[in-house]
Structure 1
Amino acid sequence: MVKFNYFGHAAFLLDDGTHRVLVDPFLTGNPATAVSANEVDCGYILLTHAHGDHLGDAPSIAARTGAAIVAIPEVIDVCQAQATGELKVFPMNLGGSLTLPFGKVRMTVAHHSAGVPGGVACGFVIYIGGKVIYYAGDTALFSDMQLIGRKDAIDYAVLPIGDNYTMGLEDAAQAAQWLNTRHVIPVHYDTWPIIAQEVHRYKEVTEAMTRATVCIVAPGETLEL
């Protein structure tokens, strides 16, 4: 069993009972969360890009907990520059896979700016606790999502739906169809007025056009996958 702990915006923690994987830990300054960075414990941190609302507290959490950061080299450099002392890191790049004690991660393409010169944004396919979880990161809709769905039998797709900076409702529904995922967890919406969305409308549209069940998880809630 894997637990999905949602911290609001695009920050979440995957917990298989032994390993804890933190993703895009924007906590300090996140109006959608009541969790402090000092309260979070993890063994691994996955970062999709270097924008502040995704990189967030990664350097300080990694320094405090000894967690290893998994990201592209340019994003790792940003974390190293912000941390006191050396961090444990696993640099990757698009298309690469990495085997870790909890399972495996594969770095996928995302169509978005990176927040650091020379870098690229990414997503992750995460194998943990017998589940396959695709986190798109911040991205536009792109047709190669169909290839991701063919390569990996996705149990849960964590997709941004906020529009303006990422996919909106309609494109995120199309993404769910192309990925052929069994479930969708929408994220990256309602944090600020500019990305306010009707999440129940997204659930209605997506479930009408795909095989997926949309799981709406409020910040602070935990979903058993």
Structure 2
Amino acid sequence: MGKLFYQGHGSYRIISDKEIVIYVDPFAGEGYDLPADIVLITHEHPDHNNLARLHQKQDCVVIRPETILINGVYGSQSIDRITIQAVPAYNSGHDKNKCVGYVIELDGIKIYASGDTSTTDYMKDVLSKEAINYALLPIDGFYNMDPQEAANCAKVIGAVHSIPIHMKPGALFDRKLAETFMAEGRLILEPNEEIKL
């Protein structure tokens, strides 16, 4: 069974059944001890792309918007039976042409790694039909949507579990803010907390 380890802010680590290690937006917290097989960067802001935090295996694949969003086309990649599909992510502070989210499919589970975003048409048009198991959504209300808008997105997406992340500038986590994210299937993870997928 795979695992998801929340590091804090917008950073988390996913491990597949076959021990494939994926880091999403490495920057915050702890839990960088396992060498990376795959690293997913949603955009190039410094709080999402600190590769110096982790050790990459020799054949590690690092995916960034510039490598998977080409001429407006959201690409996909399959690595060790893990499928990674880039999807739109944008708002007033995040350029649609330089930011992505990802749908990660592994071990029969789909995880929506939203990146820094607000409401997108793609959530309604595509993600709502994808049978997402876990959606990780920013709720800071400054760089991205606030908890209410994120809860609305969670309702549209319809994931089994929605996890609030990216809460306050400079903070790993804010329990009080996380509690205001009122989504069905809400799952609040503290930094250094790990769940079985």
Whether these two folds match at TM > 0.5 is: yes
CA distance in structure 2 between the aligned counterparts of 1:99 and 1:130, rounded to whole angstroms: 14
Structure 1 counterpart of 2:64, from 56, 59, 71? 71
Which residue does the alignment assign to 2:103? 125
Describe the superposition over 1:79-123 as per-residue Cα deviations: whole angstroms up to 9, x where unpaired: xxxxxxxxxxxx2114222111132011000014458xx951110
More strand by share: 2
When residues 119 and 143 of structure 1 are mapped into structure 2, their CA distance, relative to the original with a 3 A threshold, is closer
Counterpart of 1:12? 12
Calculate the aligned-residue CA RMSD, in Å.
2.3
- Give the direction of change, closer, same or farther, for the CA distance of 1:114–1:224 in structure 2 (3 Å limit): same
| Contact kept? 1:173, 1:206, Cα under 8 Å | yes
Identical residues among aligned pairs (%): 26
How far did 1:65 drift?
2.8
Q: Which residue of 2 aligns with 1:24?
A: 25
1:43 corresponds to 2:37 = yes
Q: Cα 1:68–1:153, aligned 2, differ >3 Å: closer, same or farther?
A: same
Contact 2:25–2:49 (CA<8 Å) still a contact in 1? Answer: yes
In structure 2, how many angstroms separate the alpha carbons of the residues matched to 1:150 and 1:186? 18
Q: How many residues are matched?
A: 189
Q: Answer whether contact 1:6 1:12 (CA < 8 A) is retained.
A: yes
- Greater helix fraction, Structure 1 or Structure 2: 1
Aligned to 1:96: 75
Amino acid at match of 1:69: V
Distance 1:99 1:158, change over 3 A: same
Alpha-carbon shift at residue 59 of structure 1 (Å):
5.6
Please state whether the residue corresponding to 2:183 is helix, strand or coil. Answer: helix
For the pair 1:172 / 2:172, whether they are aligned, the reply is no
Q: CA deviation at 1:168?
A: 0.7
1:206 to 177, 183, 188: 183
Kept in 2, the 8 Å contact 1:8–1:191? The answer is: no
> Relative to 1, partners in 2 of residues 1:16 and 1:121: Cα closer, same or farther, differing over 3 Å?
same
What letter is aligned with 2:84? Answer: V
CA drift at 1:144 = 2.8
Secondary structure (helix, strand or coil) at the match of 1:44 reads strand
Query: Does structure 1 conserve the Cα–Cα contact (< 8 Å) formed by 2:11 and 2:26?
Result: yes
Kindly provide the amino acid, as one letter, of the partner of residue 206 in structure 1: A
Q: Match of 1:218? A: 190
Q: Report the residue type matching 1:92 in the other structure.
A: I
Matched residue type, 1:221: E
Larger Rg: 1
Q: Is the 8 A contact 1:50 1:114 kept in 2?
A: no
